[in-house]
Structure 1
Amino acid sequence: MLICVTQRKLCQENFLYRIQQLAQAKPYAVLLREKDLDLPSYEQLAWKVKEICDRYGVLLILHQNSTVAEKMKLTHLQLSLPALRAYQKGAHSLLIGASVHSVAEAKEAEALGASYIVAGHIYATDCKQGTPPRGLSFLRQVCQAVSLPVFAIGGITSNNMKAILESGAKGCCIMSEAMTCQEPAALVHEFATAIPPVFGSHRE
C-alpha cells in the first residue's frame, strides 16, 4: 500500500499536474503535507487536490489540520504525536495516522487511538540531512510492538521495498521521488503492485 506525500516546492512542474499524474496511477492515498502554508492557503489547496483525488478514486489524507479535514468530510488525518495527544474528536469521526520515531511513541500512539502508524525515517534521505536513519531493526521493533498497520517512511525505493515488507510494514510513504521522478505513473506502479491492501476500500 503506497501513500504519496506531497512537497510542492520539490516539483519542477505545476504541482496540481503532478498530483494528477500520481492520482491517475492510483496509489492508495495522497498525503497533503505542505507544512509551510497557513490554514486558509492549506484549505484552498486541499479542495483542489481533493477534486483530483476524487476524480481518480484516490484517498486524500490531510496533515495536522483536523478542522479542515472535518469540514471537507474526509475520512483520514495524519498527525504528529504531540498533535495526537491534543486531538479531540469532533462530530465527524476520522481515522488517525500517527507519525512516530520510537517504539515508545508507537505504543503511545496506539493507546491514544491511532488507526495506523507512519514510522521513520528508515533509510537516509535528503529530507532529514544530518539525522541518522533508524534502519530496518527499528522498523521491525515498531511492527512487533503494535497491532496497527505500520507504514515506513524515509528513503524508501522500489529496490528496498521487499526488505520493508519483510520487516512487517504494510506499506510505505514516499515524498521526494513522488515529487521529482520523470514518470510518476511508472513509479506508483512499481510500488503499488508489490504492496497488498490493508484497510479495504476507502469508498465504503
Structure 2
Amino acid sequence: MKKSKIDLSLYLVTEESIAIEDLTKIITESVSGGVSIVQLREKNNSSLSFYKKAYALKQLLNELSIPLIINDRVDIALAVAADGIHIGQDDLPLPVIKQMVPDDMIIGVSVSTLEEAIEAERNGADYIGVGSVFPTKTKQDATLMAIEDLEVICRSVSIPAVAIGGITADNISSLSDSGLSGTAVVSAIMNADSPKTASEFLLKIIKDFK
C-alpha cells in the first residue's frame, strides 16, 4: 500500500491486552463501519504474544485492504511485514528508525508541541499523532493540549496530522476546524456495544472536518 494513498480519517488504536479472538471481531466490525487504518498497541505484553497478535491482525487486515501500524516495536513491525510503525518521543530517534525499515514503511510520530511536530516533519515522518486533546484513561499521564495549539500545529506542518487522546462521539465535533487529516480513537470504538455503528457515527462527523 503506497504511502500517498493512506487514509488516516478514522484511525483505530487498539486497547491493551484484548484477546485476539475478541480483537479480530472488533476490528472486522469497525472496518465495516469505516475505520481506515489500525494501530496495534501493546505496552505490557510479551514479545511473543505481541508478535502472534500482530501476525493475526496483519493477515486479517490484508484481506480487508487496511494498513496495520505497530506501536513502538520496530522488530515486531518488521517481523510481520506491517505497513507502518508509530513511535513516541522516548523511542528510538526517527532518523535511526528510517535506517532500519523499508522505504515504503509508513512512520508516524507522536507529538505534543509545535517544536516536536516541526522536527518530526524535518526528519521525514509521514504523519504525526497530536495530543492528548482530551483526558484519556488509555494514557493517564498524558499532557493535555489546547485546541488552539492543535490548530497551530496543523497549520505549521505540511504532513498529515491526526488528533489523539480521549476522542469520543460527544467531543469530536470540537476538532472540526483544526485542519486535521483524521482522528485516532481507542475506547469510543473498542468499548462500543457496536463497533460498526460507533465507527459509522464518528466517520460521518470526520467527513465534515475542514
**TM band (smaller chain):** 0.7 to 0.9
The runs of 4+ residues in structure 1 deviating greater than 4 Å are none
Instruction: Give 2:81's match in structure 1, choosing from 70, 73, 90.
Output: 73
Report whether the alignment pairs 1:162 with 2:173: yes
Aligned counterpart, 1:202 = none
Query: Could you tell me whether the CA contact under 8 Å between 2:86 and 2:108 is conserved in 1?
Result: yes
Query: Could you tell me whether the CA contact under 8 Å between 2:37 and 2:67 is conserved in 1?
Result: yes
Aligned counterpart, 1:191 = 202
Shift of 1:57: 2.1
Report whether the alignment pairs 1:6 with 2:14: yes
Report whether the alignment pairs 1:171 with 2:182: yes
Query: Could you tell me whether the CA contact under 8 Å between 1:122 and 1:135 is conserved in 2?
Result: yes
Measured in 2, the distance between the counterparts of 1:148 and 1:167 equals 14
Cα pair distance change 1:152/1:111, threshold 3 Å: same
The amino acid that maps onto 1:137 is E
Which secondary structure state, in structure 2, belongs to the residue aligned with residue 185 of structure 1? helix
Which secondary structure state, in structure 2, belongs to the residue aligned with residue 148 of structure 1? coil
Shift of 1:170: 1.2
Query: Could you tell me whether the CA contact under 8 Å between 1:5 and 1:31 is conserved in 2?
Result: yes
Measured in 1, the distance between the counterparts of 2:90 and 2:120 equals 10
Shift of 1:190: 1.3
Which secondary structure state, in structure 1, belongs to the residue aligned with residue 163 of structure 2? strand
Count of matched residue pairs = 195
Q: Sequence identity of aligned pairs in percent? A: 27
- Gaps spanning 5+ residues in structure 1: where? 197-204
- What's the C-alpha RMSD, in Å, of the aligned pairs? 2.2
Cα pair distance change 1:190/1:31, threshold 3 Å: same
Cα pair distance change 1:155/1:114, threshold 3 Å: same
Aligned counterpart, 1:107 = 118
Cα pair distance change 1:76/1:165, threshold 3 Å: farther
Aligned counterpart, 2:129 = 118
Query: Could you tell me whether the CA contact under 8 Å between 1:8 and 1:179 is conserved in 2?
Result: no
Measured in 2, the distance between the counterparts of 1:178 and 1:195 equals 14
Cα pair distance change 1:115/1:136, threshold 3 Å: same
Aligned counterpart, 2:53 = 45
Measured in 1, the distance between the counterparts of 2:142 and 2:68 equals 29
Aligned counterpart, 2:6 = none
Query: Could you tell me whether the CA contact under 8 Å between 2:33 and 2:199 is conserved in 1?
Result: yes
Query: Could you tell me whether the CA contact under 8 Å between 1:84 and 1:98 is conserved in 2?
Result: no
Aligned counterpart, 2:44 = 36
Instruction: Give 2:99's match in structure 1, choosing from 68, 89, 110.
Output: 89
Measured in 1, the distance between the counterparts of 2:190 and 2:57 equals 14
- Gaps spanning 5+ residues in structure 2: where? 1-8
Instruction: Give 1:139's match in structure 2, choosing from 146, 150, 153.
Output: 150
Deviations 1:50-81 (A, max 9, x none): 12222222221111122322333332211113
Which secondary structure state, in structure 2, belongs to the residue aligned with residue 127 of structure 1? coil
Provide TM-score, normalisation by structure 1.
0.85
Report whether the alignment pairs 1:20 with 2:28: yes
